[in-house]
Structure 1
Amino acid sequence: MNNNKQSQIEVLCIGTELLLGNIVNGNARWLAEELARLGIPHFRQTVVGDNKERLTEVVLEASKRCRVLICTGGLGPTPDDLTTETLAAAFGAPLEERSEVLADIKAKLTAKGRPMAASNCKQALLPMGAAVLSNPLGTAPGMIWSPLPNFSLLTFPGVPAEMQAMWEQTAVPWLQQQGLTSGIFRSRLLRFWGVAESSLAEQVAPFLEQQNPTVAPYAGRGEVKLRITAWADNAENADGLIAPVEKELRAIGGSNCFGADSDSLASVVLAALRQRGETLAVAESCTAGGVGAALGAVPGASDVFIGGVIAYANQIKQALLGVPADTLASHGAVSEAVALAMAEGARRCTGADWAVAVTGIAGPGGGSAEKPVGLVYFAVSGPSVSFSFMRQYGASRGREWIRGLSVGDALDQLRLAL
């Protein structure tokens, strides 16, 4: 891989809504993964709002650095869709109406029972010399245009489904024809729970210095990830570079490594239960169904996860889960004894083989000196094992952080028990 201009690709995402945080920039992530799949390195991503001056500045700067600039957003019929006209003006190219594009837009709108508005004609305007990048799912076409020697622009609408279809249909073949694809990147994402990022990074420090494959740590809410990325001339060779490194990292992580790639704590727990032919129920207080939601998000969960109880009020804990009134009175709802009683009650009332329970104080109010915000009790109950544990997360990171960690810790302890 060389770093001269001929091999450089950049991604430019256009839209004020991205800068305001109204939507997550999923297009940049998708394009990055696609470029890696094709073995095309790219070195920069930029986001700019719907502003002619700033868009012009960004594009002209990119034209000095990269061979190809991939743009998404701003191709619709509304006044704030400025991409095509701004790019044309930036390089001094006149716009021309493409009759074939206009006919395609009219046909698509007619098929939907919508008249063609004058604003739609805007989408048929492209810089002179640009090739049409057809849109099979929408009315806004993109373009492939080379306004300067050794510099090309590819434009896509911001609608993800439209962009992805256009990418596969037209952009990928073009990139291959240009000789920009070379080798392949492959990645493996190892997932860890119950270990701090700093601690894991220290344990795997020698791996963070190597070049091919590279190893990079990422931290989220309770979860730590190690991404192993290799480049080779084909997928088999890249996977061969990854395999020994993955084996060593898994050995270092031990039981804290719960899976890889698309695995989640919930999917791993469900797979373990499915293998054993056993079922699961939940009893939740402070997480308000968060554990159940994580399990239910996994396709096919219903053959293992049979249900649960959200029991905030003490009367629900008593009536549905059978938590004794004297246990609640003597220990309080947030206690080891109540967590155990909730788990056992969930097993009893659902007939599940296993149950996990959570009760705690997520805040911001409700805490005391004895039981502060962030104090959470858990219990796991199974055919031959029943245990509880406690976590004190503290109040500094807020309610959702506490609830998120509680969901993860509940599933992780169940995973270890299984």
Structure 2
Amino acid sequence: MGSESGGTEILCIGTELLLGNILNGNARWLAEQLAGLGLRHYRQSVVGDNRERLIAMVREASRRCRVLICTGGLGPTPDDLTTEALADAFATPLEERPEVWRDIQAKFAALGRAPSPSNRKQALLPAGACVLPNPLGTAPGMIWTPRPGFTLLTFPGVPSELRAMWAATAAPWLRGQGLVEGVFASRILRFWGAGESRLAEQVADLLELSNPTVAPYAGTGEVKLRITAQAPTLPQAEELLAPVEAELRQRLGTWFYGIENDSQASLCLELLRRRGETLAVAESCTGGGLGAALTAVPGASDVFLGGVIAYANAVKQGLLGVPAAMLEAHGAVSDPVAIAMAEGARRLTGSTWALALTGVAGPGGGSPGKPVGLVHIALAGPSGSTSEGVRFGGGRSRDWIQTVSAGEALNRLRLLLLAETQTEGQATPP
């Protein structure tokens, strides 16, 4: 890939990141933005709220890269020391920017409040730095070249503020600096039903490509393949992506379910919407996770009617109509009970389809016959009801089992709807 000299680095600042209190989503987002711009990006670092360590890391980066993007530590509190430390790293005095202070005062006035004395330090920037305006918050960033060939860009750690500032000012500035070596385009393909190793075996030769590249990533119950291409222009890069994406879809068949931000829930809802059909759910072991996945999709209300969290057997009986004798004979974790739950939800709501889940999410409560990780998934619809027990394994966490159970239920509905739609299409005369 070449030397790191002249590349771009990301430095995230905050002790909360080191302690794991906050997920470092800013680094991931910035990395994606840099790739989209075609900028060489070789390193990411995290440093706590410590002046000396921050100074040392910035000085080290200044000898190695051309652009350093910093996030965090721009607020008014004592541990927000990024600006002061950067100025000290290059022996540069701080100066108050009247226009920044006026902007801070105006933003507080709009809230009917006055800024505190500590807010005033947010108007301090190193001499020679350019203000990077913050349209959503009070802490501005800066674009500063403290020495020839090295530029710092600073942003607050608040993701919404970072992203707004990036789009408005930073990205246009970076495009104009002659750093771009072409444009990157990428596409994420999502798959369900095969593990990462099994899926990789089917496309092993494509994983060896150099441009576009294909890289697998395992998720919770799914596998993602990211295709990335580089070319002089975005249309040319996307043109490189197209045949590889088509080949992946063809080889992996129904394992493929969506792209980018698609989810099993969003795909099922769209299929139901096209068919003019509705869905309800009945949940035991997932405790509402299936309904939550569906309602996380905007506009779900025109398809998803609702559901019942029937955790106790009394609720399974009273609301869903599961017979007491069935519960006694088969136990709550069984195909007959799962089917009765799905049919009860369908009857209760008047939906076209209903999904039901009952199982042992763990970590306790299992038995030799019904171990932790066993989940029965039922689907009731116009043509009848089916259920199957799926063993997800007792070594998984409760949260993992619940999340994957919901995803597997939706995947089964998706596959059935696709099959029915295809059959109906073939049966329709031209």
Secondary structure of the 1:215 match is: strand
Larger deviation, residues 296-305 vs 384-393: 384-393
2:5 alignment partner AA: K
Shift of 1:126: 1.6
8 Å contact from structure 2 (residues 342, 354) kept in 1: yes
Shift of 1:3: 4.5
Summarize deviations over 1:129-167 as a string: whole Å, max 9, x none: 212222222222211111121101011111222222222
Match of residue 313 from structure 2: 314
Aligned-partner Cα distance in 2 for 1:72–1:179: 23
Larger deviation, residues 360-369 vs 65-74: 360-369
1:192 alignment partner AA: F
Aligned-partner Cα distance in 2 for 1:180–1:53: 30
Larger deviation, residues 151-160 vs 390-399: 390-399
Summarize deviations over 1:165-195 as a string: whole Å, max 9, x none: 2222221222122122343211111111110
Match of residue 400 from structure 1: 399
8 Å contact from structure 2 (residues 378, 385) kept in 1: yes
1:26 paired to 2:31: no
2:95 alignment partner AA: E
Larger deviation, residues 178-187 vs 256-265: 178-187
Shift of 1:385: 4.0
Shift of 1:349: 1.6
Aligned-partner Cα distance in 2 for 1:185–1:69: 20
Aligned-partner Cα distance in 2 for 1:123–1:331: 66
Summarize deviations over 1:87-134 as a string: whole Å, max 9, x none: 111112122222332333233333333333322222222222212222
How do residues 270-289 of structure 1 correspond to structure 2 at under 5 angstroms?
270-289=269-288
How do residues 210-249 of structure 1 correspond to structure 2 at under 5 angstroms?
210-249=209-248
Match of residue 17 from structure 1: 16
1:100 paired to 2:75: no
Aligned-partner Cα distance in 2 for 1:402–1:336: 18
How do residues 171-210 of structure 1 correspond to structure 2 at under 5 angstroms?
171-210=170-209
1:118 paired to 2:117: yes
Secondary structure of the 1:106 match is: helix
Shift of 1:352: 0.9
Match of residue 44 from structure 1: 43
Match of residue 323 from structure 2: 324
Aligned-partner Cα distance in 2 for 1:271–1:385: 22
Match of residue 420 from structure 2: none
Larger deviation, residues 147-156 vs 383-392: 383-392
Secondary structure of the 2:403 match is: helix
8 Å contact from structure 2 (residues 191, 257) kept in 1: yes
Shift of 1:394: 2.3
1:67 paired to 2:66: yes
Aligned-partner Cα distance in 1 for 2:102–2:283: 58
Gaps of at least 5 residues in structure 2 are: 418-430
Match of residue 130 from structure 2: 131
1:323 and 1:206, CA in 2 relative to 1: closer, same or farther beyond 3 A? same
Shift of 1:389: 1.0
Secondary structure of the 2:230 match is: strand
Aligned-partner Cα distance in 1 for 2:96–2:33: 32
8 Å contact from structure 2 (residues 4, 42) kept in 1: no
2:160 alignment partner AA: A
Aligned-partner Cα distance in 2 for 1:302–1:138: 34
Aligned-partner Cα distance in 2 for 1:335–1:116: 62
Match of residue 146 from structure 2: 147
Aligned-partner Cα distance in 2 for 1:346–1:106: 56
Match of residue 356 from structure 1: 355
2:213 alignment partner AA: T
Aligned-partner Cα distance in 2 for 1:121–1:282: 54
Match of residue 5 from structure 2: 5
Secondary structure of the 1:252 match is: helix
Larger deviation, residues 389-398 vs 50-59: 389-398
1:395 alignment partner AA: G
Match of residue 252 from structure 1: 251
Summarize deviations over 1:338-360 as a string: whole Å, max 9, x none: 11111112111211111111111
Q: Which TM-score applies when normalising by structure 1?
A: 0.96
Shift of 1:310: 1.1
Secondary structure of the 2:337 match is: helix
Q: Which TM-score applies when normalising by structure 2?
A: 0.93
Match of residue 342 from structure 1: 341
Aligned-partner Cα distance in 1 for 2:265–2:165: 35
Aligned-partner Cα distance in 1 for 2:99–2:271: 56
Secondary structure of the 2:63 match is: helix
8 Å contact from structure 2 (residues 373, 396) kept in 1: no
Match of residue 56 from structure 1: 55
1:307 alignment partner AA: G
2:349 alignment partner AA: T
